[in-house]
Structure 1
Amino acid sequence: MQLNEQRVDIRKRMRNLRKNLSKEVQEQAAKSLYINISQVANITKNTRIGGYLSNDGEPDLSLVFKEMWSKKAKPHLPIIHPFTRTHLLFQEYEKNSPMKANRYGIFEPELNCSHICPVAELDFILTPLVAFDSQGNRLGMGGGYYDRTLAQIPDNAVKKPVLIGIAHQCQEVDALPIASWDVPLDYIVTPERIYCPDR
Protein backbone atom coordinates (compact mmCIF):
# COMPACT_ATOMS: atom_id res chain seq x y z
CA MET A 1 0.00 0.00 0.00
CA GLN A 2 1.35 3.44 -0.99
CA LEU A 3 2.11 6.09 1.66
CA ASN A 4 -0.88 8.24 0.76
CA GLU A 5 -3.24 5.24 0.73
CA GLN A 6 -2.00 4.21 4.18
CA ARG A 7 -2.61 7.68 5.56
CA VAL A 8 -6.10 7.88 4.04
CA ASP A 9 -6.97 4.49 5.54
CA ILE A 10 -5.70 5.49 9.00
CA ARG A 11 -7.63 8.77 8.86
CA LYS A 12 -10.86 7.00 8.01
CA ARG A 13 -10.50 4.43 10.79
CA MET A 14 -9.46 6.91 13.49
CA ARG A 15 -12.12 9.48 12.63
CA ASN A 16 -14.76 6.78 12.91
CA LEU A 17 -13.39 5.67 16.27
CA ARG A 18 -13.44 9.11 17.85
CA LYS A 19 -16.81 10.11 16.35
CA ASN A 20 -18.37 6.98 17.85
CA LEU A 21 -17.26 7.81 21.41
CA SER A 22 -20.25 8.39 23.66
CA LYS A 23 -21.12 11.76 25.15
CA GLU A 24 -20.21 10.41 28.60
CA VAL A 25 -16.79 9.24 27.40
CA GLN A 26 -16.15 12.62 25.75
CA GLU A 27 -17.11 14.51 28.93
CA GLN A 28 -14.82 12.38 31.09
CA ALA A 29 -12.04 12.71 28.51
CA ALA A 30 -12.30 16.52 28.71
CA LYS A 31 -11.88 16.42 32.50
CA SER A 32 -8.93 14.02 32.39
CA LEU A 33 -7.27 15.94 29.56
CA TYR A 34 -7.54 19.18 31.50
CA ILE A 35 -5.60 17.57 34.37
CA ASN A 36 -2.96 16.05 32.08
CA ILE A 37 -2.51 19.17 29.96
CA SER A 38 -1.84 21.19 33.12
CA GLN A 39 1.09 18.85 33.85
CA VAL A 40 2.73 19.85 30.56
CA ALA A 41 1.56 23.42 29.89
CA ASN A 42 2.12 25.76 32.82
CA ILE A 43 -0.82 28.18 32.73
CA THR A 44 -0.02 31.52 34.36
CA LYS A 45 -0.91 35.16 33.71
CA ASN A 46 -0.25 36.13 30.07
CA THR A 47 0.71 32.57 29.00
CA ARG A 48 -0.16 32.35 25.32
CA ILE A 49 -1.57 29.02 24.24
CA GLY A 50 -2.89 28.08 20.83
CA GLY A 51 -5.82 25.70 21.07
CA TYR A 52 -8.80 24.67 18.99
CA LEU A 53 -12.57 24.27 19.20
CA SER A 54 -13.46 20.58 19.03
CA ASN A 55 -14.98 19.21 15.84
CA ASP A 56 -15.49 15.77 14.30
CA GLY A 57 -15.13 13.95 17.64
CA GLU A 58 -11.95 15.75 18.73
CA PRO A 59 -11.36 16.09 22.49
CA ASP A 60 -12.96 19.17 24.05
CA LEU A 61 -10.64 21.89 25.44
CA SER A 62 -13.33 24.11 27.00
CA LEU A 63 -12.10 23.40 30.56
CA VAL A 64 -8.59 24.48 29.53
CA PHE A 65 -9.95 27.75 28.11
CA LYS A 66 -11.92 28.43 31.31
CA GLU A 67 -8.78 27.88 33.39
CA MET A 68 -6.81 30.22 31.15
CA TRP A 69 -9.40 32.99 31.41
CA SER A 70 -9.54 32.60 35.19
CA LYS A 71 -5.74 33.02 35.41
CA LYS A 72 -5.65 35.88 32.88
CA ALA A 73 -3.73 33.75 30.42
CA LYS A 74 -4.35 34.24 26.70
CA PRO A 75 -5.88 31.42 24.69
CA HIS A 76 -5.63 31.69 20.91
CA LEU A 77 -7.55 29.91 18.18
CA PRO A 78 -6.45 29.14 14.63
CA ILE A 79 -7.94 31.11 11.76
CA ILE A 80 -7.51 30.15 8.13
CA HIS A 81 -5.22 32.83 6.71
CA PRO A 82 -7.31 35.23 4.57
CA PHE A 83 -4.61 35.57 1.88
CA THR A 84 -2.34 32.53 2.22
CA ARG A 85 -5.28 30.18 2.49
CA THR A 86 -3.20 27.06 3.19
CA HIS A 87 -1.79 28.52 6.43
CA LEU A 88 -3.16 29.42 9.85
CA LEU A 89 -3.08 32.57 11.95
CA PHE A 90 -3.55 32.42 15.74
CA GLN A 91 -5.85 35.05 17.20
CA GLU A 92 -6.63 35.70 20.86
CA TYR A 93 -9.85 34.02 21.99
CA GLU A 94 -11.88 35.89 24.60
CA LYS A 95 -15.18 34.92 26.23
CA ASN A 96 -17.01 37.43 24.05
CA SER A 97 -15.01 37.05 20.84
CA PRO A 98 -17.24 37.41 17.76
CA MET A 99 -17.14 34.06 15.95
CA LYS A 100 -17.90 32.81 12.46
CA ALA A 101 -17.86 29.43 10.73
CA ASN A 102 -15.00 28.85 8.30
CA ARG A 103 -15.16 26.89 5.04
CA TYR A 104 -15.18 23.61 7.00
CA GLY A 105 -17.99 24.67 9.31
CA ILE A 106 -15.55 25.11 12.23
CA PHE A 107 -16.02 28.25 14.31
CA GLU A 108 -13.12 30.69 14.52
CA PRO A 109 -12.83 34.29 15.75
CA GLU A 110 -13.66 37.02 13.27
CA LEU A 111 -10.35 38.39 12.02
CA ASN A 112 -8.94 41.22 14.11
CA CYS A 113 -5.33 41.93 13.12
CA SER A 114 -4.57 43.62 16.46
CA HIS A 115 -5.27 40.32 18.26
CA ILE A 116 -3.05 38.10 16.09
CA CYS A 117 -0.04 36.45 17.75
CA PRO A 118 2.89 35.34 15.55
CA VAL A 119 3.07 31.57 15.81
CA ALA A 120 6.66 31.62 17.14
CA GLU A 121 5.57 33.82 20.04
CA LEU A 122 3.01 31.36 21.41
CA ASP A 123 4.22 29.49 24.49
CA PHE A 124 2.33 26.29 23.72
CA ILE A 125 0.23 25.00 20.84
CA LEU A 126 -2.37 22.32 21.54
CA THR A 127 -2.88 20.66 18.16
CA PRO A 128 -5.76 18.43 17.17
CA LEU A 129 -4.85 15.26 15.32
CA VAL A 130 -6.41 12.20 13.74
CA ALA A 131 -3.74 9.67 14.75
CA PHE A 132 -0.41 9.59 16.58
CA ASP A 133 2.36 7.23 17.59
CA SER A 134 4.54 7.15 20.69
CA GLN A 135 7.45 8.72 18.77
CA GLY A 136 5.61 12.04 18.59
CA ASN A 137 4.41 11.75 15.01
CA ARG A 138 1.06 13.34 14.18
CA LEU A 139 -1.38 12.67 11.37
CA GLY A 140 -3.82 15.50 10.76
CA MET A 141 -6.96 15.77 8.67
CA GLY A 142 -4.96 16.02 5.45
CA GLY A 143 -5.13 19.75 4.73
CA GLY A 144 -1.56 20.40 5.89
CA TYR A 145 -2.49 23.63 7.68
CA TYR A 146 -0.55 22.95 10.88
CA ASP A 147 2.50 21.49 9.13
CA ARG A 148 2.80 24.49 6.78
CA THR A 149 2.23 26.99 9.59
CA LEU A 150 4.67 25.37 12.02
CA ALA A 151 7.30 24.94 9.31
CA GLN A 152 7.56 28.74 9.18
CA ILE A 153 9.23 28.81 12.61
CA PRO A 154 13.00 29.02 11.99
CA ASP A 155 15.07 26.10 13.33
CA ASN A 156 17.39 28.61 15.03
CA ALA A 157 14.57 30.64 16.60
CA VAL A 158 15.42 31.82 20.12
CA LYS A 159 11.94 30.92 21.26
CA LYS A 160 9.64 28.23 19.93
CA PRO A 161 6.22 27.09 21.08
CA VAL A 162 6.00 23.71 22.76
CA LEU A 163 3.91 21.51 20.45
CA ILE A 164 1.41 19.31 22.28
CA GLY A 165 -0.82 16.91 20.37
CA ILE A 166 -4.24 16.27 21.92
CA ALA A 167 -6.01 12.98 21.28
CA HIS A 168 -8.16 10.20 22.61
CA GLN A 169 -6.19 7.10 23.57
CA CYS A 170 -7.93 5.11 20.82
CA GLN A 171 -6.18 7.26 18.22
CA GLU A 172 -2.75 5.76 18.92
CA VAL A 173 -1.19 3.52 16.26
CA ASP A 174 2.03 1.52 16.46
CA ALA A 175 3.85 3.58 13.83
CA LEU A 176 2.58 6.27 11.48
CA PRO A 177 3.68 6.38 7.84
CA ILE A 178 5.60 9.68 7.85
CA ALA A 179 5.91 12.22 5.06
CA SER A 180 8.83 14.66 4.69
CA TRP A 181 6.65 17.67 5.59
CA ASP A 182 5.28 16.28 8.86
CA VAL A 183 6.24 18.35 11.93
CA PRO A 184 6.84 16.15 15.00
CA LEU A 185 5.37 16.98 18.40
CA ASP A 186 7.11 17.62 21.73
CA TYR A 187 4.35 15.91 23.73
CA ILE A 188 1.15 14.02 23.12
CA VAL A 189 -1.54 14.15 25.78
CA THR A 190 -4.50 11.80 26.01
CA PRO A 191 -6.96 11.36 28.90
CA GLU A 192 -4.91 8.36 30.04
CA ARG A 193 -1.28 9.23 29.27
CA ILE A 194 1.33 11.88 28.63
CA TYR A 195 3.87 10.96 25.95
CA CYS A 196 7.24 12.69 25.89
CA PRO A 197 9.04 11.29 22.83
CA ASP A 198 12.77 10.78 23.20
CA ARG A 199 14.28 12.41 20.14
Structure 2
Amino acid sequence: MATAAVLSVAKRNLRVEMKQRLRALSAEERLRQSRLLTEKVLAHSKYQESQRISIFLSMQDEIETEEIIKDIFQSGKTCFIPQYKFKSNHMDMVKLFSAEEIFSLPKTSWNIRQPSDEVREEALSTGGLDLIFMPGLGFDKQGNRLGRGKGYYDTYLKRCLQHQERKPYTIALAFKEQICGAVPVGESDMRIDEVLYEDT
Protein backbone atom coordinates (compact mmCIF):
# COMPACT_ATOMS: atom_id res chain seq x y z
CA MET A 1 0.00 0.00 0.00
CA ALA A 2 1.47 3.35 -1.04
CA THR A 3 1.96 6.04 1.57
CA ALA A 4 -0.66 8.79 1.70
CA ALA A 5 1.70 11.37 0.18
CA VAL A 6 2.75 9.12 -2.72
CA LEU A 7 -0.87 8.16 -3.32
CA SER A 8 -1.97 11.79 -3.33
CA VAL A 9 0.64 12.75 -5.96
CA ALA A 10 -0.19 9.71 -8.12
CA LYS A 11 -3.90 10.58 -8.04
CA ARG A 12 -3.26 14.24 -8.77
CA ASN A 13 -1.08 13.40 -11.78
CA LEU A 14 -3.67 10.96 -13.14
CA ARG A 15 -6.45 13.54 -12.69
CA VAL A 16 -4.49 16.00 -14.84
CA GLU A 17 -4.02 13.35 -17.54
CA MET A 18 -7.70 12.31 -17.46
CA LYS A 19 -8.92 15.91 -17.72
CA GLN A 20 -6.67 16.39 -20.77
CA ARG A 21 -8.06 13.24 -22.37
CA LEU A 22 -11.63 14.38 -21.72
CA ARG A 23 -10.99 17.86 -23.09
CA ALA A 24 -9.76 16.27 -26.32
CA LEU A 25 -13.10 14.50 -26.89
CA SER A 26 -15.35 16.18 -29.44
CA ALA A 27 -18.98 16.92 -28.61
CA GLU A 28 -20.01 14.42 -31.32
CA GLU A 29 -17.86 11.67 -29.82
CA ARG A 30 -19.18 12.35 -26.32
CA LEU A 31 -22.72 12.10 -27.65
CA ARG A 32 -21.97 8.91 -29.63
CA GLN A 33 -20.53 7.11 -26.60
CA SER A 34 -23.30 8.44 -24.34
CA ARG A 35 -25.97 7.02 -26.65
CA LEU A 36 -24.18 3.68 -26.80
CA LEU A 37 -23.93 3.52 -23.01
CA THR A 38 -27.57 4.49 -22.60
CA GLU A 39 -28.49 1.45 -24.71
CA LYS A 40 -26.22 -0.76 -22.60
CA VAL A 41 -27.79 0.53 -19.38
CA LEU A 42 -31.39 0.08 -20.52
CA ALA A 43 -30.64 -3.52 -21.55
CA HIS A 44 -28.70 -4.29 -18.34
CA SER A 45 -30.31 -6.87 -16.05
CA LYS A 46 -29.26 -4.99 -12.90
CA TYR A 47 -30.92 -1.84 -14.19
CA GLN A 48 -34.07 -3.68 -15.19
CA GLU A 49 -34.48 -5.36 -11.81
CA SER A 50 -33.65 -2.26 -9.74
CA GLN A 51 -36.43 -0.04 -8.44
CA ARG A 52 -34.58 2.62 -6.46
CA ILE A 53 -31.81 4.14 -8.52
CA SER A 54 -29.32 6.94 -7.90
CA ILE A 55 -27.85 8.70 -10.92
CA PHE A 56 -25.71 11.79 -11.40
CA LEU A 57 -26.67 14.80 -13.49
CA SER A 58 -23.89 15.03 -16.06
CA MET A 59 -21.22 17.65 -16.19
CA GLN A 60 -19.84 18.46 -19.63
CA ASP A 61 -17.00 15.94 -19.37
CA GLU A 62 -19.22 13.05 -18.23
CA ILE A 63 -21.42 10.51 -19.99
CA GLU A 64 -24.78 12.19 -20.68
CA THR A 65 -27.40 10.66 -18.36
CA GLU A 66 -30.55 12.50 -19.41
CA GLU A 67 -32.04 9.66 -21.48
CA ILE A 68 -31.40 7.16 -18.67
CA ILE A 69 -33.20 9.48 -16.24
CA LYS A 70 -36.18 9.71 -18.60
CA ASP A 71 -36.32 5.90 -18.78
CA ILE A 72 -36.19 5.58 -14.97
CA PHE A 73 -39.42 7.60 -14.79
CA GLN A 74 -41.04 5.90 -17.81
CA SER A 75 -40.32 2.52 -16.20
CA GLY A 76 -41.99 3.54 -12.94
CA LYS A 77 -38.76 3.37 -10.94
CA THR A 78 -37.73 5.90 -8.28
CA CYS A 79 -34.91 8.31 -9.14
CA PHE A 80 -32.49 9.87 -6.67
CA ILE A 81 -29.83 12.44 -7.53
CA PRO A 82 -26.83 13.82 -5.59
CA GLN A 83 -27.15 16.82 -3.34
CA TYR A 84 -23.65 17.92 -2.34
CA LYS A 85 -22.86 19.77 0.84
CA PHE A 86 -20.07 22.15 -0.12
CA LYS A 87 -16.96 22.52 2.06
CA SER A 88 -17.45 18.94 3.29
CA ASN A 89 -17.45 15.43 1.86
CA HIS A 90 -21.14 14.94 2.72
CA MET A 91 -23.60 14.09 -0.01
CA ASP A 92 -27.21 12.98 0.12
CA MET A 93 -29.19 11.21 -2.58
CA VAL A 94 -32.51 13.02 -2.83
CA LYS A 95 -35.64 12.12 -4.73
CA LEU A 96 -36.27 13.66 -8.13
CA PHE A 97 -39.95 14.12 -8.96
CA SER A 98 -39.76 14.05 -12.76
CA ALA A 99 -37.24 14.10 -15.59
CA GLU A 100 -38.49 17.59 -16.57
CA GLU A 101 -37.74 18.90 -13.09
CA ILE A 102 -34.00 18.77 -13.80
CA PHE A 103 -34.14 21.89 -15.95
CA SER A 104 -35.66 23.99 -13.18
CA LEU A 105 -33.03 23.03 -10.59
CA PRO A 106 -30.55 25.77 -9.68
CA LYS A 107 -26.92 25.42 -10.79
CA THR A 108 -24.10 25.26 -8.27
CA SER A 109 -20.71 26.94 -8.55
CA TRP A 110 -19.53 23.70 -10.20
CA ASN A 111 -22.17 24.21 -12.88
CA ILE A 112 -24.05 21.11 -11.70
CA ARG A 113 -27.78 21.27 -11.26
CA GLN A 114 -28.95 20.14 -7.84
CA PRO A 115 -31.92 20.78 -5.57
CA SER A 116 -31.56 23.78 -3.29
CA ASP A 117 -31.86 23.22 0.43
CA GLU A 118 -35.54 22.35 0.49
CA VAL A 119 -36.29 19.12 2.34
CA ARG A 120 -36.61 16.12 0.04
CA GLU A 121 -36.81 12.40 0.62
CA GLU A 122 -33.30 11.01 1.15
CA ALA A 123 -32.78 7.50 -0.20
CA LEU A 124 -31.27 5.98 2.94
CA SER A 125 -34.10 7.23 5.16
CA THR A 126 -36.78 5.49 3.10
CA GLY A 127 -35.39 2.08 2.19
CA GLY A 128 -32.00 2.59 0.58
CA LEU A 129 -30.89 2.12 -3.03
CA ASP A 130 -30.71 -0.87 -5.37
CA LEU A 131 -28.33 0.68 -7.89
CA ILE A 132 -25.96 3.64 -7.97
CA PHE A 133 -24.55 5.01 -11.22
CA MET A 134 -21.10 6.38 -10.46
CA PRO A 135 -19.33 9.29 -12.12
CA GLY A 136 -15.56 9.69 -11.99
CA LEU A 137 -12.50 10.89 -13.86
CA GLY A 138 -10.75 7.56 -14.42
CA PHE A 139 -11.38 3.85 -13.93
CA ASP A 140 -9.54 0.60 -14.37
CA LYS A 141 -10.95 -2.78 -15.35
CA GLN A 142 -10.70 -4.02 -11.76
CA GLY A 143 -13.35 -1.51 -10.68
CA ASN A 144 -11.01 1.03 -9.08
CA ARG A 145 -12.22 4.60 -9.50
CA LEU A 146 -10.46 7.95 -9.58
CA GLY A 147 -12.90 10.59 -8.34
CA ARG A 148 -12.48 14.34 -8.31
CA GLY A 149 -10.81 14.29 -4.92
CA LYS A 150 -13.62 15.25 -2.56
CA GLY A 151 -14.59 11.73 -1.44
CA TYR A 152 -18.35 12.25 -1.77
CA TYR A 153 -19.17 8.87 -3.30
CA ASP A 154 -16.78 6.81 -1.16
CA THR A 155 -18.28 8.38 1.96
CA TYR A 156 -21.83 7.82 0.72
CA LEU A 157 -21.20 4.16 -0.10
CA LYS A 158 -19.93 3.61 3.44
CA ARG A 159 -23.18 5.15 4.74
CA CYS A 160 -25.13 2.75 2.52
CA LEU A 161 -23.37 -0.18 4.20
CA GLN A 162 -24.50 1.11 7.60
CA HIS A 163 -28.13 1.76 6.59
CA GLN A 164 -28.93 -1.08 4.19
CA GLU A 165 -28.90 -4.85 4.56
CA ARG A 166 -27.63 -5.23 1.01
CA LYS A 167 -25.01 -2.98 -0.56
CA PRO A 168 -26.31 -1.16 -3.67
CA TYR A 169 -24.90 -2.45 -6.94
CA THR A 170 -22.55 0.16 -8.40
CA ILE A 171 -22.01 0.83 -12.11
CA ALA A 172 -19.58 3.43 -13.42
CA LEU A 173 -20.44 5.14 -16.70
CA ALA A 174 -17.24 5.92 -18.57
CA PHE A 175 -15.92 7.07 -21.90
CA LYS A 176 -13.43 4.50 -23.19
CA GLU A 177 -10.79 7.25 -22.94
CA GLN A 178 -11.26 7.16 -19.14
CA ILE A 179 -10.09 3.55 -18.80
CA CYS A 180 -6.58 3.35 -17.29
CA GLY A 181 -4.12 0.53 -16.74
CA ALA A 182 -4.36 0.89 -12.96
CA VAL A 183 -5.95 3.55 -10.78
CA PRO A 184 -3.96 4.28 -7.58
CA VAL A 185 -6.19 3.59 -4.57
CA GLY A 186 -6.05 3.89 -0.80
CA GLU A 187 -7.95 2.15 1.97
CA SER A 188 -10.85 4.60 1.90
CA ASP A 189 -11.48 4.13 -1.84
CA MET A 190 -14.49 1.92 -2.58
CA ARG A 191 -14.32 -0.47 -5.52
CA ILE A 192 -17.08 -0.38 -8.13
CA ASP A 193 -18.96 -3.55 -9.10
CA GLU A 194 -18.89 -2.83 -12.83
CA VAL A 195 -17.36 -0.26 -15.18
CA LEU A 196 -19.49 0.23 -18.27
CA TYR A 197 -17.85 1.67 -21.40
CA GLU A 198 -17.95 1.17 -25.14
CA ASP A 199 -15.82 -1.96 -25.30
CA THR A 200 -17.55 -3.90 -22.50
TM-score (norm 2): 0.86
* Superposed displacement of residue 61, structure 1: 0.7
Q: Which residue of 2 aligns with 1:177?
A: 184
Superposed, which structure 2 residues align to 1:85-164 within 5 Å?
85-93=88-96, 94=98, 95-96=100-101, 98-118=104-124, 121-154=128-161, 157-164=164-171
Q: Any gaps of 5 or more consecutive residues in structure 2? A: none
Q: Which residue of 2 aligns with 1:36?
A: 40
Work out the CA distance in 2 between the residues paired with 1:42 and 1:136: 18
Residues 122-175 of structure 1: CA deviation (Å, up to 9, x unaligned): 111001011111111001001111111111233794222111111111111111
* SS, match of residue 161 in structure 2: coil
- CA 1:57–1:156 in structure 2 vs 1: closer, same or farther (change >3 Å)? closer
- CA 1:81–1:123 in structure 2 vs 1: closer, same or farther (change >3 Å)? same
Structure having the larger proportion of residues in strand: 1
Which stretch shows the higher mean deviation, 128-137 or 100-109?
100-109
* Superposed displacement of residue 17, structure 1: 1.0
Q: Which residue of 2 aligns with 1:64?
A: 68
Which stretch shows the higher mean deviation, 183-192 or 99-108?
99-108
* SS, match of residue 41 in structure 1: helix
* Residue identity matched to 2:159: Q
* SS, match of residue 114 in structure 2: strand
- 8 A Cα contact 1:30 1:191, kept in partner: no
Moved over 4 A (4+): none
* SS, match of residue 180 in structure 2: coil
* SS, match of residue 18 in structure 1: helix
Aligned residues: 191
- 8 A Cα contact 2:160 2:168, kept in partner: no
Q: Which residue of 1 aligns with 2:13?
A: 9
- 8 A Cα contact 1:30 1:63, kept in partner: no
% same residue: 23
Work out the CA distance in 1 between the residues paired with 2:188 and 2:81: 23
* SS, match of residue 160 in structure 2: coil
Residues 23-81 of structure 1: CA deviation (Å, up to 9, x unaligned): 1111111111112123153336x811111111141110111011112112122110013
